[in-house]
Structure 1
Amino acid sequence: MAATDDTVADDDALYVLTAVLLTPAQYPGVLGDDYVAACSSLALEPYAEGYGLVLGQDGGGARWTVVVDDVSLVAVAIASWDCGMEYDLSPDGRSVVSALPGWPLALAVAAPGVPEPHDPAPGPEGSGPVPLTPPDPECWGPAQRRLGADEVASGWAVWRGRAEEGTVRRADGTSGDQDGDEGEGGTARDVVKTPDGTAPRREEGGGSLRHPGVRRALSEARAYLIDPPPPGRIRSAFASGAARTLRVDGPGWSLVARTDDMAFVLLDEEPGEVLPVGRGPELPGLLRSLDALAARPV
């Protein structure tokens, strides 16, 4: 448990449930297309060192997101939990930057021995910040699109296998496999199969390349090589061997790729759809160049 600042009662403690990093190289995609936007959504300055976000409940069960500047402490806690080890994340009060009501992410856990999670009561006359809330899973927009891209990145092997089989599913979990005639210029059906009904072949790039939104996303990603975007809009994480997993975002689109493999694109105008882009002749060079610009975890 970690004490918070005066925003949470002095005699109350925060029951820590989880934590995430907010750095140029690693942050929850739901917060913004880049690190600067993500910090802005939490009213934080985009310091290069970044922050840790500690999510928990106070003694009354209220949801709180505590922002700390001790990034190393939070990183150690996350690494320990990922390895199945216990770690008592207790940030020093001096490292607390702010305590924000609510959670920006949906959590399926709750602290034992306290009331069910709920938003803190507003201050006098409704003062205080609006509680943070996770994106509505019943809607589709930029936050849901980025959340879907994060899901594809974390479950790459599963999504890659579905692309190979021609059974890529929507980011909302429903089937993307559809039958019927293909519309001019490419449709959501390109998410699943090429015109002959087979899974997209890596060397051809897949039917999704006919989709104007996919072409726009790749063109804008290529433009980043000439005019680098804000920090965090291109992020690179370890994959396997010498490969890297890339997460690239832009206005209305998100891209997930492996530098040694293919890519997936999600678009605001295609709710829930995950469009595969085969390796083709141009994708490898684009991915290598984007990786060279990307922010990487230290």
Structure 2
Amino acid sequence: MAATEETATDEDALFVLTAVLLTPARFPSVLGDDFPEVCAALGLEPYEQGYGLVLGQDGGGARWTVVIDDVSLVACALAAWDCGMEYDLSPDERSVVSVLPGWPLAVAVSAPGVPAPHDPPPDPDGGRPPLAPPDAQTWGPAQRRLGADEIALRWAVWREEYEGAEEPSGSGGDDAADGPAGAAEAAEAAPPAAPAESARPSDGGEPSNEGVRRVLREAHAYVETPPPLGRVRSEFASDGARTLRADGPGWSLVARTDDMAFVLLDDMPGDVIPVGRGPKLPALLRALDEMAAKPA
């Protein structure tokens, strides 16, 4: 993240605070389950090459989000900032697709020398209302996706929490343990987690947790009928494996192709359900990885 060190003198100048990618493989999942859904939330066409979102303040302190089609510029800036390097993110006017009032995501910094961040005044011509981050304080789709983001980012830490879940679980391919409130905490949630219902296979060989059964059915359906772009995403992981992320109505799944999976459900606030490999999960993960959106 980079905040300008200049002092604002021009009301029209944009003082860049941060930026994010909006592509089928990488997008702020807190805003939606897939790439077209996030684009729709911002009033954008789901252009397959994607966009970059540049968040900043004008000289009066107002929040603005500048949408550009120069994805590589934003990717370079993010890579430099991640390494602690300076990078002047100054989009060419020809790359600007849209300028939106407000910020779709929470930003913890502000530009020096300008008033505190605030929404710009309403458009007299009746433009769209300012963007605002989704409510992540109450468990729901946004918070569930934030929890899945946290698991994908810190896989090794979460994996250690569920060493017992790595045992195969019969023909169902699932094994579950009670999930802590970690997913809720990752999303800065207030409500505590309730113990997760066991998803161990029943006598019929299927997971006893109906939510997990539904997730696995819908994930299998993605292989047969590809879902909207970005609904399944894949990134490099250690040891030659890949980290998979799949989302659907009311659920998120995070997995590594060489390991297990975790499921989060809208109707089980704060719970993280581990899914052991078993005989079926590896094939499902391989199939999902083959059709997933991947970073360029």
For the criterion TM > 0.5, the same-fold answer is: yes
**1:94 and 2:94 aligned:** yes
Question: Cα distance, 1:11 vs. partner?
Answer: 4.7
What is the TM-score with the length of structure 1 in the denominator?
A: 0.83
The answer to whether the Cα contact below 8 Å between 2:184 and 2:193 also exists between their aligned partners in 1 is no
Structure 1 counterpart of 2:266, from 261, 265, 268: 268
Aligned to 1:136: 135
Aligned to 1:285: 283
5+ residue gaps, structure 2: 4-9, 165-176, 186-190
Aligned to 1:49: 49
What is the TM-score with the length of structure 2 in the denominator?
A: 0.84
**1:147 and 2:159 aligned:** no
SS in structure 2 at match of 1:225: helix
Q: Deviations over 1:75-113 (max 9, x none)?
A: 000111111111111111111111111111112211122
SS in structure 2 at match of 1:172: helix
Aligned to 1:203: none
1:148-187 equivalences under 5 Å are 148-164=147-163, 168-170=179-181, 171-173=183-185, 176=193, 178=195
5+ residue gaps, structure 1: 3-9, 179-187, 196-207
Hey, what's the Cα distance between the residues in 1 that align with 2:18 and 2:96?
16
The answer to whether the Cα contact below 8 Å between 1:159 and 1:168 also exists between their aligned partners in 2 is no
Q: Deviations over 1:227-283 (max 9, x none)?
A: 111111110011112111111011111111111111111111112222111122111
1:73 alignment partner AA:
L
2:269 alignment partner AA:
P
Hey, what's the Cα distance between the residues in 2 that align with 1:75 and 1:108?
20
2:111 alignment partner AA:
A
Hey, what's the Cα distance between the residues in 2 that align with 1:15 and 1:150?
28
1:230 alignment partner AA:
P
Aligned to 2:16: 16
Aligned to 2:108: 108
2:180 alignment partner AA:
R
The answer to whether the Cα contact below 8 Å between 2:11 and 2:59 also exists between their aligned partners in 1 is no
State how many pairs are aligned.
Answer: 269
The answer to whether the Cα contact below 8 Å between 2:178 and 2:198 also exists between their aligned partners in 1 is no
2:79 alignment partner AA:
A
Greater Cα offset, 154-163 or 93-102 = 154-163
2:209 alignment partner AA:
H
Aligned to 2:220: 222
Alpha-carbon RMSD:
2.5
The answer to whether the Cα contact below 8 Å between 1:162 and 1:169 also exists between their aligned partners in 2 is no
The answer to whether the Cα contact below 8 Å between 1:167 and 1:175 also exists between their aligned partners in 2 is no
Greater Cα offset, 143-152 or 214-223 = 143-152
Greater Cα offset, 225-234 or 143-152 = 143-152
1:172 alignment partner AA:
A
Question: Cα distance, 1:139 vs. partner?
Answer: 1.5
Identity %: 68
Aligned to 1:251: 249
Q: Deviations over 1:187-238 (max 9, x none)?
A: x2549xx79xxxxxxxxxxxx9421111101110011111111111110011
Aligned to 1:67: 67
Question: Cα distance, 1:177 vs. partner?
Answer: 7.7
The answer to whether the Cα contact below 8 Å between 2:11 and 2:58 also exists between their aligned partners in 1 is no
Hey, what's the Cα distance between the residues in 1 that align with 2:194 and 2:141?
23
Structure 2 counterpart of 1:241, from 236, 239, 242: 239
Aligned to 1:205: none
Hey, what's the Cα distance between the residues in 1 that align with 2:257 and 2:234?
10
Aligned to 2:120: 120
Q: Deviations over 1:37-62 (max 9, x none)?
A: 11111111111110001111111111
Question: Cα distance, 1:167 vs. partner?
Answer: 7.7
Question: Cα distance, 1:296 vs. partner?
Answer: 0.4
SS in structure 1 at match of 2:45: coil
Question: Cα distance, 1:176 vs. partner?
Answer: 4.7
